Structure 1
Amino acid sequence: MNDAFDRRLFLQGAVSLSTLIALGLPAAAFADEGALTFGPAEPFSFDGLVDRARKLATEAYVPAEKPAADITSKLTYEELGKIKFKTEDALWANGPAPFPVTFFHLGTFFQKKVTINVVDGKNASEIIYRKSSFDMPADSPAQALPDGVGFAGFRFQEPRTGPIDWKKNDWVAFLGASYFRAIGELYQYGLSARGLAVNAADPNPPHQEEFPDFKEFWLEPVAGSTNQVKVYALLDGPSVAGAFSFLMTRDKAVLMDIDAHVFTRNDINRFGLTPLTSMYWFSETIKQTAIDWRPEVHDSDGLAMWTGGGEHIWRPLNNVPATTTSAFIDSNPRGFGLLQRDRIFDHYLDGVMYDRRPSLWVEPLAPFGEGQVQLIEIPTDDEIHDNVVAMWVPKDPVKAGQEFNLKYRLHWAADEPFPTNLARVVATRLGNGGHPGQPRPPGLRKFMIEFLGDSLKDLPYGVKPVPVITASRGELSYIFTEAVPDGINGHWRAQFDLQVTGPDPVEMRCYLKLGDKVLSETWLYQYHPF
């Protein structure tokens, strides 16, 4: 279930969670925690952690510690790949929690110390780094590290008693800034989530993007549970501090119930809650000629939204010519997520299994209020960059001294957990406009949107769904629908041409209806003329 080779590296110059989890580092296997060393027991509670974060936000920010940076900077990707955590030193290899815990070593890309504690009742003790817990070459730069420098992060292995070899497979990992991710139903890592996004891709200087850190964690078994574990985290950054609680369930999908208390030190121009981070290079929609041998390369192919008003929306992703932010205003959304809908291997042909990448859905467990789902798309010319962010942004400006409490559930699954009964968009295709056998006018673009669903299966013979199409500018023509001639009942496509001049983006909208009855979800698309 670990990626053999996941080429993603950075988001806007910051190292993302995906860098070392899935770029070929060995999946360590761990056993008995008897060899681990622990610090003294200290009282711990989540309420106390919230109080600590609240107080921290009133104090000057102190950057996370980078112990022995002169040594960890020498631990390149290649050097780090030679370092393996010893199986005999795993936490909880024999209980009480069902999931053994393994640890990531500090290195070039992850030089900040992350303190990791284990909770026992009302107390917690730090797990002390010892290089003797890692197998490493005799000439590794890490040999010079002293005990106690800390870890870079951790991951949960599969359950000891399950059918999968826990020593070689993990299902959740926390690594880098506030990034974390999990596998879905198809046993594959892909996109990431993070605690907060602060001024992400903000075009207004001096609002530089910040990457707050989960600087300390507490791991706790769930009494009597065979498929759950708890994680608590302290977040700290230049403009924020926060306390997070994760109740994580290893089921068919991976579920995370998150209770976040966030406190602001400074005014924040773009305050992104529940941020999701993914990669989209190209798909069947638009692909430059011979840019790559594969038909498609992406971790996610669209943003799905279930609005507070009940509308289901699908917005295909773009590889944009310049960084673009799209805002979808809503009140108390029922959910949104970055999905991988295309599950056909032949559409990717790559051994890194893009067809199995998880979809990630945000389900509010308490009202989000008024705000926007914001989608940030950043240009990329390779698959190594995380270039897509989706997040919830509150309506009102965020000022220093504010407190936010957010409760939500993350679904790491194969599909969105609450799919509509309406027909869904399964492909968006672009081409030259006009009619076959006739000259193709410049600036005329053809759009073909494919819909699939039960609502389109039982249409009377000769009856076609009606496309309802709007565009923010330009002229629409040659509009019609037809059944896709592949023998699949309920598979239809809407076609239209758009004539537009100038480089400015065009916002488009389309859905299918019959009479007053809506038959499909709503397709939104931002077209960049080329």
Structure 2
Amino acid sequence: MTRPSHLSRRTALKYGLGGVFTLLWAEARAQDPQPQPAPAAPQQAAPAQPAAPPTTVDLNAFSFDALSAALRNRAAQPYQEPPNELPQPITDLDYDHYRRILYRRDQTVWANEPLNFQMQAYFPGFLYKAITRIYVGDGAHFQPQVFSGANFEFLAPLDPSVFQNIQLPGVAGFRLNYPLDRPDLYDELVSFLGASYFRALGMNNRYGLSARGLAINTATTTAEEFPRFTAFYIVKPQPADETVQIFAELEGPSLTGAYAFLLKPGPQTVIDVTARLFFRGEVERLGVAPLTSMYYFGENDHATREDFRPEVHDSDGLFIQRPNGERLWRPLKNPDDLALSYFAETSPKMFGLLQRDREFSHYEDVQAHYEMRPSLLIEPLGDWGRGIIQLVEIPTDSEANDNIVAFWVPEERPKAGSQYEFRYRMHWGYLDEMRSHVASVAGTFAGVGGNAADTSDTGLRRFEINFAGGTAENLPGDAIVVPIIDVPDGARLVHSGISRLPGGGWRLSIELEKLNASPVELRAKLSFNQRIISETWLYQWTGRP
């Protein structure tokens, strides 16, 4: 049974730019959970059950279509702020006290049944005063899963007697555990906590990036909204089941949504998502399948302060695969100013934030183990039409802040009464299947240009891009590999060259001069005998001339 450090420093980030907009990442970062043996039988009877809370749908005639119809009807009504249903001792909790509350192992749901999945809840309070309700059933019939203070441990300096008899009107969220890495230990598999945030693990991963149900007006001149999951309907798995089905209600000022999640754990944990959205009003920017991660510094973006670690990041690049098979790789960076990148696409085959660098020596962090953070790919199901993949990079001075966001923006802007359905498949894990016949970008290194022995400011910038894998590695060392480099107005290509890497692969070297202060979008790829043999490397250069 997983016993995570319930709440860490990476709980919330507020970022403002002249008061224009605010981004709030309200998620728990239960970092690096350690697996525990399966729990013993409960030591005490469950507390008395309070009256069942109000529901959106008939719990004895449930279906995803019925849930969707109920959420569609709710979207026709004005939005109402959720009431504060928590008693005073809970609403008074601060960070230091909240993190001292843990779910009791002997109260784990389904722990004494022969199932592959177990469930635990998150206590409400601190940032999580807007509660969610949980129902459990067989898919057509559900019952409220009610929690109380007796389901939790309250560590010193908290007084357990203050909390243990409190009947909770709801919880902050929940997590599902599964024997992911060892058959005798239940590891944390997926966690839903805070607004519409959730995260999952593949085999031998540690928590890193997160996903959200939806992003509304992120990085716009309009205040960002954070719709939240207000209820979950969990289909109780049967013995030997290797999947679990979850339905959810989403609500915010601008919309409601009905969600269906089908989770299948494994070396790469797969979550199939169906999102049906119903809009109360127009939104400036709809972000579908949003991903949130952290990039502090790395090989192409060095730390501004002394740090013994060579790199610190949960993800190192944005990956896009187009329907024609073209693969794009955009290394992440920690910019000096807010950086926005837009990639126009038509029904992309896949996109996501990856952690490609898996070498411990590239991080040298025996606690965080950034080399073990999962990648996350979004595979759209069906035709998503035209739109953009937007990448938001926010400057940060700490690895405690999630400063990277990526999501799909459909071409059509939602209006009052608009209805959308998006289906997609999420792949969490190491994603070794990403290998292809074309070479991948294995590293991007950046620094000052000019003669290495010249210490004066040359005004030049040098990029060294390593390409590895694919059939390009089988080429002889004297093969004539030709770079295709696109440098738009605003910069000038001074020099380029191709070299063979030790052990295989190829290095593209380019040296550039900046002509003005506007951002420059660079593109490069390799060809041989007029055939493309690599991914397309993308980079936004924001330096001044």
Tell me if TM exceeds 0.5. yes
Q: Find the aligned partners of 2:424 and 2:372 in 1 and give their Cα distance.
A: 24
Pick from 332, 347, 366 the counterpart of residue 317 of structure 1: 332
Of 142-151 and 377-386, the range deviating more from structure 2: 142-151
| Aligned with residue 114 of structure 1, among 132, 136, 144 | 132
Q: Tell me the amino acid that sits aligned with residue 297 of structure 1.
A: V
**Cα offset, 1:48, TM superposition:** 1.4
Distance in 1 (CA, whole Å) between partners of 2:240 and 2:420 is 30
- Residue 405 (str. 1) matches residue 421 (str. 2): yes
**What CA distance in whole angstroms lies between the structure 1 residues aligned with 2:170 and 2:36?**
20
Structure 2: gaps (5+ residues): 16-22, 53-57
- State the Cα distance separating 1:195 from its structure 2 match: 0.2
- How far apart, in 1, do the equivalents of 2:529 and 2:179 lie? 53
Which of 148, 167, 174 is the matching residue for 1:154? Answer: 174
By how many angstroms is 1:128 displaced? 1.5
Conservation of the 8 A alpha-carbon contact between 1:198 and 1:271: yes
Deviation at 1:201, TM superposition (A): 1.4
Between 1:320-329 and 1:271-280, the stretch displaced more is: 320-329
Specify whether residues 306 and 161 from structure 1 end up closer, same or farther in structure 2 by C-alpha distance, changes over 3 A only.
closer
User: Partners of 2:10 and 2:448 in 1: how far apart?
Assistant: 32
Q: Judging changes above 3 Å, is the alpha-carbon distance between structure 1 residues 16 and 29 closer, same or farther for their aligned structure 2 residues? A: farther
Alignment correspondent of 1:21: 30
Q: Letter of the aligned partner of 1:349 in structure 2? A: E
| 2:512 partner amino acid | L
* Contact in 2 for aligned 1:72/1:141 (Cα 8 Å): no
Quote the Cα distance in structure 2 between the aligned partners of 1:128 and 1:10.
27
1:96-155 deviation line (CA, Å, top 9, x unaligned): 642110111112121111101111352111112211111224863675453133211110
Q: What is the rounded CA distance, in whole Å, between the counterparts of 1:3 and 1:318 in structure 2?
A: 29
In 2, Cα distance between equivalents of 1:85 and 1:135: 6
Partner of residue 529, structure 1: 543
Task: Tell me, yes or no, if the aligned pair for 1:244 and 1:258 is still in contact at 8 Å.
Answer: yes
- Cα distance between partner residues in 2 of 1:522 and 1:369: 22
The reply to whether residue 340 of structure 1 matches residue 355 of structure 2 is: yes
Deviation at 1:451, TM superposition (A): 0.7
Tell me the SS of whatever aligns to 1:242.
strand
CA distance in 2, matches of 1:304, 1:250: 23
Distance 1:397 1:98, change over 3 A: same
Residue number in structure 1 paired with 2:12? 10
Is 89-98 or 384-393 further displaced after alignment? 89-98
Which range moves more in the overlay, 5-14 or 436-445?
5-14
Q: Distance in 1 between matches of 2:396 and 2:142?
A: 44
2-structure distance, mates of 1:524, 1:280: 17
Q: Give 1:302's match in structure 2, choosing from 299, 312, 317.
A: 317
TM-score scaled by structure 1?
0.92
1:182 CA drift (Å)? 0.6
Distance, in Å, in 2 between the alignment partners of 1:183 and 1:254 is: 6
Q: Could you tell me which residue of structure 1 aligns to residue 194 of structure 2?
A: 176
Q: Distance in 1 between matches of 2:223 and 2:37?
A: 36
Which residue in the other structure is 2:19 paired with? none
Quick one: structure 1 residues 20 and 69, their matched pair in 2 at CA, closer, same or farther if it must change by over 3 Å?
A: farther
| Aligned residue number for residue 280 of structure 1 | 295
Is the alpha carbon distance of 1:218 and 1:475 closer, same or farther for their aligned partners in structure 2, counting shifts above 3 Å? Answer: same
Q: What letter corresponds to residue 543 of structure 2 in structure 1?
A: P
Q: What's the TM-score, normalizing by structure 2?
A: 0.89
Residue type at the aligned position of 1:366: G
Is residue 296–residue 303 contact of structure 2 (8 Å, CA) maintained in 1? no
SS in 2 for 1:333: coil
Residue 89 of structure 1: aligned partner: 107
Q: CA deviation at 1:74?
A: 2.9
Equivalent pair of 2:388/2:409 in contact (CA under 8 Å): yes
Please name the residue that 1:58 is paired with: 76
- Residue 474 of structure 2 aligns to a residue in which SS? coil
Alignment of 1:498-513 (within 5 A): 498-513=512-527
Give 1:61-460 correspondences, 5 Å limit. 61-68=79-86, 70-95=88-113, 97-120=115-138, 122-137=140-155, 140=158, 143-145=161-163, 146-159=166-179, 163-166=183-186, 169-202=187-220, 204=221, 207-223=222-238, 225-350=240-365, 351-415=367-431, 417-438=433-454, 440-460=456-476
Q: Decide whether the 8 Å contact of 1:31 with 1:89 is kept in 2.
A: no
Q: Give the count of matched residue pairs.
A: 522
Residues of 1 paired with 2:506 and 2:225: CA distance?
Answer: 45
CA distance in 2: counterparts of 1:72 and 1:327, whole angstroms: 42
Quick one: distance in 1 between partners of 2:458 and 2:185? 58
Residue 55 of structure 2: aligned partner: none
The CA deviation string for residues 419-452 of structure 1, in whole angstroms up to 9 with x for no partner, is: 4320010111111111344565532111111110
Counterpart residue identity of residue 74, structure 2 = L
- Residue 416 of structure 1, CA deviation: 6.4
Distance in 1, matches of 2:369 and 2:3, equals 11
Percent identical pairs in the alignment equals: 36
Check conservation: 1:360, 1:416, Cα contact below 8 A.
no
Contact 1:21 1:173 in 2 (8 A): no
* Conservation of the 8 A alpha-carbon contact between 1:3 and 1:352: no
Between 330-339 and 43-52, report the one with greater CA deviation: 43-52
Distance in 2, matches of 1:279 and 1:65, equals 33
Over the aligned positions, Cα root-mean-square deviation in angstroms equals: 2.6
Secondary structure, counterpart of 1:52 in structure 2: helix
- Structure 1 residue 516 corresponds to structure 2 residue 530: yes
8 Å CA contact 2:450–2:458 kept in 1: the answer is: no
